[in-house]
């Protein structure tokens, strides 16, 4: 029995070429993939060592300097002048604060550009600023801030203030902004701003008389 040939004949009578039966090795594709993997591994290794170095430096600083946050306390409020009518309010107050630095190797520089505002129901009453000074290690500083101002009462505030004064509970808010620079040994770090708020409830604001004051715990915020 006659079997047909395993391939067909071309038009000119010649058989078609045999298909290529060799093996294909995609060397270039595999080599490119390996380079990418090695690059990613190197990046992760570098990142790991950077994190390790930062952690070691942080641990060293905490071990050597043992940093602690400074402690600020409200001490007293004195009234030099305070008067109001249905249109405006005049105030001259002395605010006494205490700053305690418990660190044995860290100091603070309180810079220029600070501000202290006393408000009643979001209306500004008087303003002042903290003194610029360098607070060394293991130091407690008590400073007084004079706050003065003449402000206009907004709608309804005069009646509300009269009612608060009658009840012996005048709510005031003290808002403080101060630029601070940390000193580690002899190294000065970048300056940043500290914002502090404290709410006071004053029983009396008569001049020449030290008022009784209830105060909340100060809240703080830091912005670089």
Residue 136 binned pLDDT confidence (cut-offs 50, 70, 90): very high
Q: Which of 35, 65, 95 is the last residue of a domain?
A: 65
Number of domains in the chain: 2
- As beta bridge partners, residue 109 has 134, 181
- Domain match, 79 and 180 both: yes
Give the integer Cα–Cα distance in Å for 53 and 165. 59
pLDDT value at residue 193: 96
In a domain, 87, yes or no: yes
Token representation of residue 14: 């010649």
Is there a contact between 105 and 68 (Cβ–Cβ < 8 Å)?
no
Give the integer Cα–Cα distance in Å for 27 and 41. 21
User: What is the percent of the chain with per-residue pLDDT over 90, rounded to a whole number?
Assistant: 58
182-195 per-position pLDDT tens digit? 998 888 999 999 99
Residue 41 binned pLDDT confidence (cut-offs 50, 70, 90): confident
- Domain match, 76 and 180 both: yes
Residues 35-42: what's their mean pLDDT?
82
Closest C-alpha among 133, 111, 118 to residue 173: 118
- 128 pLDDT more than 70: yes
More confident residue, 1 or 166: 166
In a domain, 48, yes or no: yes
Residue 179 binned pLDDT confidence (cut-offs 50, 70, 90): very high
pLDDT value at residue 102: 95
pLDDT value at residue 79: 95
- Domain match, 30 and 94 both: no
- 224 pLDDT more than 60: yes
Poorest-pLDDT segment among 1-10, 136-145, 204-213:
1-10
User: What is the percent of the chain with per-residue pLDDT over 70, rounded to a whole number?
Assistant: 85
State the residue range of the domain holding 85.
Answer: 71-223
- Domain match, 141 and 30 both: no
Poorest-pLDDT segment among 9-13, 84-88, 120-124, 126-130:
9-13
- Domain match, 96 and 43 both: no
- As beta bridge partners, residue 84 has 89
Give the integer Cα–Cα distance in Å for 45 and 126. 57
Contacts of residue 80, defined as CB under 8 A and 6 or more positions apart, other chains included, come to 92, 93, 94, 146, 207
pLDDT value at residue 192: 95
- Domain match, 193 and 167 both: yes
pLDDT value at residue 153: 83
In a domain, 6, yes or no: no
- Domain match, 206 and 111 both: yes
- Domain match, 58 and 82 both: no
Name the CA radius of gyration of the chain, rounded.
Answer: 38
- 11 pLDDT more than 60: no
Question: 10 Å Cβ neighbour count for 218?
Answer: 16
Dihedral over Cα of 131, 136, 138, 139: its sign: negative
Token representation of residue 60: 């060293």
57-86 per-position pLDDT tens digit? 777 777 778 889 899 999 999 999 999 998
- Domain match, 84 and 140 both: yes
In a domain, 13, yes or no: no
Give the integer Cα–Cα distance in Å for 213 and 199. 10
pLDDT value at residue 57: 75
pLDDT value at residue 44: 81
């Amino acid at each position: 029995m006659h079997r047909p040939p395993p391939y067909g004949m071309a038009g000119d009578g010649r058989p078609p070429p045999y298909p290529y039966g060799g093996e294909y090795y995609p060397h270039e594709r595999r080599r490119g993939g390996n380079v990418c993997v090695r690059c990613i591994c190197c990046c992760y290794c570098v990142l790991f060592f950077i994190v390790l170095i930062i952690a070691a430096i942080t641990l060293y600083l905490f071990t050597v300097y043992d940093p602690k946050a400074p402690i600020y306390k409200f001490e007293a409020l004195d009234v030099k002048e305070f008067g109001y009518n249905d249109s405006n309010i005049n105030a001259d107050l002395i605010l006494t604060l205490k700053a305690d630095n418990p660190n044995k190797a860290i100091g603070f520089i309180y810079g220029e550009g600070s501000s202290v505002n006393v408000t009643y129901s979001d209306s500004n009453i008087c303003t002042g600023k903290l003194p610029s000074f360098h607070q060394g290690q293991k130091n407690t500083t008590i400073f007084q801030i004079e706050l003065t101002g003449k402000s206009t009462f907004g709608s309804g505030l005069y009646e509300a203030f009269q009612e608060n004064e009658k009840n012996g509970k005048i709510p005031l808010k003290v808002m403080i902004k101060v630029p601070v620079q940390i000193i580690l040994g002899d190294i000065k770090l970048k300056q940043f701003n500290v914002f502090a708020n404290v709410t006071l409830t004053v029983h009396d604001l008569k001049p020449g008389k030290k008022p009784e004051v209830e105060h909340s715990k100060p809240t703080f915020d830091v912005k670089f």
